[in-house]
Amino acid sequence: MSEYRIEHDSMGDVRVPANAYYSAQTQRAVENFPISGWRLPPAMIRAMGLVKYACGRANHELGKLTGTGKNPLNDAQVNAMLAAAEEIAAGQMADQFPIDVFQTGSGTSSNMNINEVISNRAIELMGGDRMAMEKAIHPNDHVNMGQSTNDTFPTAIHVAVAMEIEGRLIPALEKLHASLAEKAAKWDRVIKIGRTHLMDATPLRLGQEFGGFARQIELSIDRAKRAREAVLELPVGGTAVGSGINTAPEFGGRVAAVLAEKTGIPFIEAVNHFEGNAQRDGLVDSHGSLKCIAQTLFGVANNIRWLGSGPRCGFFEVILPDRQPGSSIMPGKVNPVMCESMMQLCARVIGNDSCMTTCGAAGGNFQLNIMMPVMAHTALESIELMAAGTLAFIEFCTQGLEANEAQCEAAVEQSLSMSTSLNPLIGYEEASKLVKEAFKSGKTIRQLCKEKGIIDEQALSAALDPFKMTEPG
């Protein structure tokens, strides 16, 4: 068998790898864009398969595929076409999508890639010759019926982003919230010193501190849900410029309904197809929420990193699990590697938001955004990084965290901010003088108060009770 076969498109003949399921337009794109080696993420390919399935079902229900148009299909051919789309949606044939992310800005190359693969696979399922130049199930006339790249490609991005947020990011954040909330409850009686500006502040409980972290993640779950909601409107049905030329008026609504049915996510047809085709504001909005989640995860990981610093010359109020040797020169050193990993991936997501903003603002000219493939890659990368990173952070860090109770409590009595609770008794100015003298002498606030007889011992004990200082009053 020859290493290549000849395929044909509107520009002429093209040599295509003999066993490939794609055809001429895909091969042209492979040759045109030898840029990065990055392909569209698997989640995007699966979503494209799902969108093509939904479009095929809608066209079949509308009688378009088996109607009186050019080369109508029979029911068996339609079913084969739908089956091929479902295979792609299930993650099969992933090696048949070789086009670089940095391609035509509408995603036309990738849209034709999937049209060609579905066409040839459907022909094969019917027992036909997928290598034949004439296609009984045609990539444009049948697979792409009633569609344009300009409406189906952004629809697939929305579907992929919503599904990945729903199926991966939200569950990961929910697990992290549960892990942190469990630590908050467990450590509710562990008193430690607070810090503001990285300087000593009044006492709080380690459980309260971790309760604050847990609440941050709870709010991040809400932001993830808003990120999903920002992409629920689907452009499909707008075709080339939003006018819906060459498709049935009800096509977009039917496709959205099929996608909602298949995913369990309440997708709807775009309220205005001219906006839906031309702008990717929903994606930019969605990623803005993802960026906020990233900065939250960064902050939580960084705080835990600081709390675990030491073990002798840092805070060392929590004990992080040992994951790997930390130095090639310092024996026995162990580093907070999971915190560092989380912080790095969050930095990437925060940087990705600049890419998304630029693509949304500069790429949306008139009736089409022309930076969609990189937006798809970037948004899905952000979700993937945070979902996978969060699960690793739970398994290898937060689940194994231990409180260093002795270290937490040892610093409390030494804190000069213990003087804060004396304000109502002796006034701010007198308390400030005590602080300066305590710092200079190395004595505690309690010791100085006793020496000077500033207030009676019962009132002093009540005022300097560390646990009471962690509550209002």
Catalytic residues: 197, 327
- 205 phi/psi in degrees, rounded to 5: -100, 145
Which sign, positive or negative, has the C-alpha torsion 291, 393, 387, 262?
A: negative
Residues in CB range of 351: below 8 A, 6 or more apart? none
- In 3-state terms, what secondary structure has residue 9? strand
Residues in CB range of 250: below 8 A, 6 or more apart? 62
- 228 phi/psi in degrees, rounded to 5: -70, -45
Q: What is the DSSP letter of 267?
A: -
Parallel, antiparallel, or unpaired: how do β-strands 268-269 and 233-234 relate? parallel
Which sign, positive or negative, has the C-alpha torsion 16, 21, 24, 30?
A: negative
Between CA 273 and CA 151 the distance in angstroms is 9
Between CA 369 and CA 357 the distance in angstroms is 12
Between CA 40 and CA 335 the distance in angstroms is 35
Between CA 257 and CA 241 the distance in angstroms is 22
Q: What is the DSSP letter of 41?
A: P
Between CA 300 and CA 305 the distance in angstroms is 9
Structure tokens at 204: 């709080």
Residue with tokens 């030491």: 310
- Which is nearest to 463 in space by CA: 436, 426, 438, 435? 426
- In 3-state terms, what secondary structure has residue 415? coil
Residues in CB range of 157: below 8 A, 6 or more apart? 44, 47, 231, 280, 283, 372, 375, 376, 379
Parallel, antiparallel, or unpaired: how do β-strands 191-196 and 233-234 relate? unpaired
